Amino acid sequence: MTPVAVAADGPDDGWVAFAPEADLAYHGAASMAAGQVDVRFVPRNHGPSAVPDATVRLRWSEPLANRQTLPDGCARSGARVVLCRVGALDADGLGERIELRVRLRGEPSEVLLEMDTVWSGGVVDRNRANDRQRVLVLDTGDSYYF
């Protein structure tokens, strides 16, 4: 476990807490046809410490249709947001593949999908570049990889 110093807010300004460090990343693909977006990705922890649990946020530039059928572990969190539980990730380990299909309101010609980690079970991720993804998905049925 590699401890990382974390600034603490509180009455005692003289102390620093140490948290384990991990490096979360998401790799996968998204496609869209007729207002329906398919997203599939695999979470990965590049380490050096394990992650006890994590949650990823998927945010679309277009509002989602009111009714959605989401997989277990995923929940709607607003007009354009879905949260999915990633679960525990070993150091330098892969998580379970996450697949979901959402329907957008109407049939836009494109949508911007943004993904990021919103909770990582108390570990610190100093390399936030690879757990934040932005993917422009066109209504072509083609897969766009990230």
Domains of the chain: 3-8+22-145 (2.60.40.1510)
Say what the pLDDT of residue 27 is. Answer: 96
Distance CA 27, CA 69 (A): 23
The model's pLDDT over 61-90, given as tens digits with 9 standing for 90+, comes to: 999 999 999 999 999 999 999 999 999 999
So what's the pLDDT on residue 128? 86
Sequence-distant (6+) residues with CB within 8 A of 78 are none
Residue 4 has pLDDT above 70, yes or no: no
Confidence (pLDDT) at 17: 61
